[in-house]
A = this chain, B = another copy of it.
Amino acid sequence: MNQIFRNDIADLLARRRKGRPLEAPFYTSAEIFDLDLRLIFARHWIFVAVEPDVPEPGDFITVAIGAASVVILRDDAMDIRAFHNVCRHRGARIVNQPKGFVGNLLCPYHNWTYDLTGNLIHTGSMAPDFDPRCHGLKPVHLRRLEGLIFICLADAPPEDFDDMARQVGPYIAPHRLSDLKIAAQSEIIEEGNWKLTIENNRECFHCGNHPELLQSLFHFFGYSAEDVTAEDRAQYELFTRTQAEFEAIWEANGLPWRPIEQLEGRPTAFRVERLAMAEAGESFTLDTRAACRKPVAPFSTMRLGTQHVHLQPNSWFHFLSDHVVTFSVFPLAADRTLVCTRWLVHKDAIEGVDYDIDTLTKVWQATNAQDGNFVAWAQAGIGDPAYEPGPLSPTEYMVENFDTWYCERLSAELQHPGAG
């Protein structure tokens, strides 16, 4: 990174105004996009998969983070491992499918072969002094949290993962992710910067434009009592009453529910909150009833609302009685972002009997598509020379949190040797 650009970035970070979104270059500049990949996505814990992606030995998926491709697989000892998807000979991509099953990892170019622990076990003609033990696949740091899989591309990953895991784990463990199966998944590309995707996820000020979601969601995520307008007052009171009802249910089921919010001031920032849902209160469906008859665990009721989890930089989750939805975000370009969504149900649930895909996925498919539009419109306008960051609503305080975290992390990582 050259000095001029380093100074530009420092200026941009220094003049950030609290209470407003970021200035345009953070969303539009190819150079800052490159920094985001190198300093945010390559140096933090990235949520990439769930254990049900690789249930059996030899199962693998590939994940792309910028130009980096990582193979995540289950080995014969049932461990889950991550490797850089680059042959140690002449660099070819070894695995060229998004997922599958393998006995060994065979490079399709010159047939160099690695076992599932990454050891190089076959090469063909090499010089007499060639040592295969020095040419195993390069491992990638991987951590598991109650069925969620995270990787970090850095040599020295952030050390606060364990602390996050200790706090978040009890909230999600009851939903037994490892016992679920992926019933459906989707990948959509949003025509905007990844930070717009995250910011969009961090406020419900726009939720009036999510008609399907509003069937089950009280749109007061992020609102405090003083933010509620006169026309919303009655609805808000219903929400607070309902939330109190649900707290009793959560207590009765031994489910932790008190919000924890640590969205700034740490690398592995997070937020958890259990929320009541409207009407039947069971699931993100149009009729608010469970989408899957078989619960993910033996709860006393399907009426559990939703456990929200937000993890920085790139993911959020909903844990319900009948299913779990995971969202992960991957930057493709300054103005293009991949959003991966997985819907998980109990592994013994039978499609067509216990659940159907359309009912299960309808609300978030629709909501994702709407969010894709919002992000695209925001990207277009932010790229306009007339853009200036406007005032956030108090209900958008988590957008502010995220932007603060992002600026903190960028500043901190820019100090490190090798930042540029």
Contacts and interface: CB of A to CB of B under 8 A. Distances in A.
Interface residues of A, number: 63
Contacts of A108: 209, 373-374, 377
Contacts of A18: none
A378 B67 contact: no
B88 A390 contact: yes
Contacts of A384: 67-69, 84-86, 91, 93
Interface in A378-406: 378, 380-395
B206 A110 contact: yes
Nearest to A399: B90
Contacts of A67: 383-385
A161 interface: no
Interface in A207-241: 208-209, 223, 227-229
A350 interface: no
Contact of A381 (B93, B153, B383, B388): B93
A91 B21 contact: yes
A44 to B, nearest CB: 15
Contacts of A91: 21, 24, 378, 381-382, 384, 387-390
A82 to B, nearest CB: 11
A415 interface: no
Nearest to A128: B226
A42 interface: yes
A198 interface: no
Contacts of A109: 206, 209, 374, 377-378
Nearest to A135: B390
Q: How many copies of this chain does one complex carry? A: 3
Given A109-B206, A125-B227, A209-B109, A92 B374 contact: yes
A89 interface: yes
B92 A378 contact: yes
Nearest to A109: B374
A110 to B, nearest CB: 5
* Residue from A4, A92, A126 having most chain B Cβ neighbours under 10 A: A92
A390 B206 contact: no
Contacts of A86: 381, 384, 386-387
Nearest to A382: B91
Nearest to A38: B385
Interface in A359-380: 373-374, 377-378, 380
A87 B381 contact: yes
Interface string A57-75: 0000000001111000000
A127 interface: yes
Contact of A205 (B2, B124, B389, B391): B124
A166 interface: no
A288 to B, nearest CB: 24
Contacts of A85: 381, 384
17 contacts: A21-B91, A42-B385, A85-B381, A85-B384, A87-B381, A87-B390, A91-B389, A92-B380, A96-B377, A108-B209, A108-B373, A110-B205, A110-B393, A125-B227, A127-B394, A130-B391, A135-B391
Pick the 8 closest A-B CB pairs, nearest first: A84-B386, A91-B381, A92-B377, A91-B382, A86-B381, A125-B227, A93-B381, A93-B380
